Structure 1
């Protein structure tokens, strides 16, 4: 039931005023035995009809009264609630602004220094003994000179690589390194030097695909001026062996400071 129909019914109910006098007159006429509009054929007394008419009038009054009371007393229909709640207002009556999401700060240069790279100059890389690329050579450094060659007694199963040093001045420090590339079945069978054995610490080990011999002069010992030989002996795979990837590197210390020489090996003669 919409609001317009409800209003019209309420107005009709308020305007309706039942004619009580007319209704009571009709009841009194029925009770006083007034002649009916149509006579009964049987001549019986009209009491049943009068009683029925009275009951009908009373029922009509009761139903009409209840209907009017229901219409008058019914509360007006509630307006439908809005699905969207009203925005809260500030004391001044203006809608309260919705807080906005803070935007990300603009990308700029970082305030802290980038520590991924060093700020100072990088240290220079020094070439350790034996790291000289194959084929390069530096056989003379002041009073120290060198040469490398395969021994004359090398054969198809075994070989010897000789390093010859010449110094015109005594040496207070000396490290000789011989590197034999692993070309197949290379295995050390011994080593020797022309200097006293007790003056040197000797090691033989496999490093980076090569058999490496090292002779290191012990502290407090001296290499006299002259010619000195250091040799490494080894087995290898059957056949002629290529020595182009073999090499040596020598670090020494003379009266005027450090010395270094390096090179490769010539074929046996």
Structure 2
């Protein structure tokens, strides 16, 4: 190449001003056509130390809750010595039946005679136990007690007596494994000579109830003589 040609090429190169904007646009178009689409990035997973920290926190929470539950339960059921405290059973369910009292007394004593019986209208769900007291003299004091053993789902439904209601203090309670009815003559009142009935009524479990442990007592005092008399008995082992 001669010197003249070189000189013209240098002059042309020196005078050339490239269009930068057009060049950049062409480069970007070429890159967009040649580069494949970038795949979507999957969700970022937590760093391993974060997973460990989370698991540790969960375990600590469970242990704390467990310790709280144990502490609360121990506070309710155990004393300081660590012995477990059992709930006290009700007196009706756990009491040892009292020894028979009516059977230890005679059915007749002085002016008093007595008899225990089950009313014939009693049925498979309900019963009425009756104490019949006969006195040959007027009494200034009289207490009649009827005891129904708490067997077969016994619960009181009421009571009555053939003598005036206002003459007696009446109670019904559970005591020593028995449902106890008591009629006590009020001070200043009297019981005339004759036959008088005292009755306790109660529901019981379905079927015929055993009355073998039931009993009664009656204690009186003669108005004229002040004589103390006591009678008692039972109702037999009726089934």
Tell me the TM-score normalized by structure 2.
0.55
Q: CA 1:165 to 1:131, structure 2 compared with 1: closer, same or farther past 3 Å? A: farther
Q: Give the aligned partner of residue 209 of structure 1.
A: 177
Who wins on radius of gyration, i.e. which is larger?
Answer: 1
Which has more strand, going by share of residues? 2
Tell me, in whole angstroms, the C-alpha distance in 2 between the residues paired with 1:157 and 1:209: 20
Tell me, in whole angstroms, the C-alpha distance in 2 between the residues paired with 1:133 and 1:260: 11
Retained in 2: the 8 A contact 1:148–1:164? yes
Q: Give the aligned partner of residue 72 of structure 1.
A: none
Q: Aligned pairs, how many?
A: 139
Give the 5 Å matches for 1:157-168.
Answer: 157-168=125-136
Q: CA 1:198 to 1:133, structure 2 compared with 1: closer, same or farther past 3 Å? A: closer
Shift of 1:252: 0.6
Per-residue CA deviation, residues 19-73 of structure 1 (Å, 9 max, x unaligned), is xxxxxxxxxxxxxxxxxxxxxxxxxxxxxxxxxxxxxxxxxxxxxxxxxxxxxxx
Tell me, in whole angstroms, the C-alpha distance in 2 between the residues paired with 1:207 and 1:198: 25
SS at match of 2:139: coil
Q: Report which structure shows greater RCO (CA 8 Å, sep ≥6).
A: 2
Q: CA 1:251 to 1:135, structure 2 compared with 1: closer, same or farther past 3 Å? A: closer
Task: Check if 1:265 corresponds to 2:235.
Answer: yes
Q: CA 1:207 to 1:261, structure 2 compared with 1: closer, same or farther past 3 Å? A: same
Retained in 2: the 8 A contact 1:135–1:245? no
Q: CA 1:206 to 1:258, structure 2 compared with 1: closer, same or farther past 3 Å? A: same
Q: Tell me which of 110, 116, 131 is aligned to 1:142.
A: 110
Tell me, in whole angstroms, the C-alpha distance in 2 between the residues paired with 1:133 and 1:198: 28
Shift of 1:208: 0.6
Tell me, in whole angstroms, the C-alpha distance in 1 between the residues paired with 2:102 and 2:196: 23
Per-residue CA deviation, residues 108-150 of structure 1 (Å, 9 max, x unaligned), is xxxxxxxxxxxxxxxxxxxxxx964475451101111000000
Task: Check if 1:223 corresponds to 2:191.
Answer: yes
Shift of 1:220: 0.1
Tell me, in whole angstroms, the C-alpha distance in 2 between the residues paired with 1:203 and 1:222: 19
Per-residue CA deviation, residues 243-265 of structure 1 (Å, 9 max, x unaligned), is 01000011110133111000011
SS at match of 2:166: helix
Q: Give the aligned partner of residue 188 of structure 1.
A: 156
Aligned CA RMSD, in angstroms, stands at: 1.8
Q: Which runs of 4+ in 1 moved over 6 A?
A: none
Give the 5 Å matches for 1:126-137.
Answer: 132-133=100-101, 135-137=103-105
Tell me the TM-score normalized by structure 1.
0.49
Q: CA 1:222 to 1:135, structure 2 compared with 1: closer, same or farther past 3 Å? A: closer
Tell me, in whole angstroms, the C-alpha distance in 2 between the residues paired with 1:175 and 1:199: 12
Retained in 1: the 8 A contact 2:101–2:216? no
Gaps spanning 5+ residues in structure 2: where? 1-97
Q: Give the aligned partner of residue 243 of structure 1.
A: 211
Shift of 1:238: 1.1
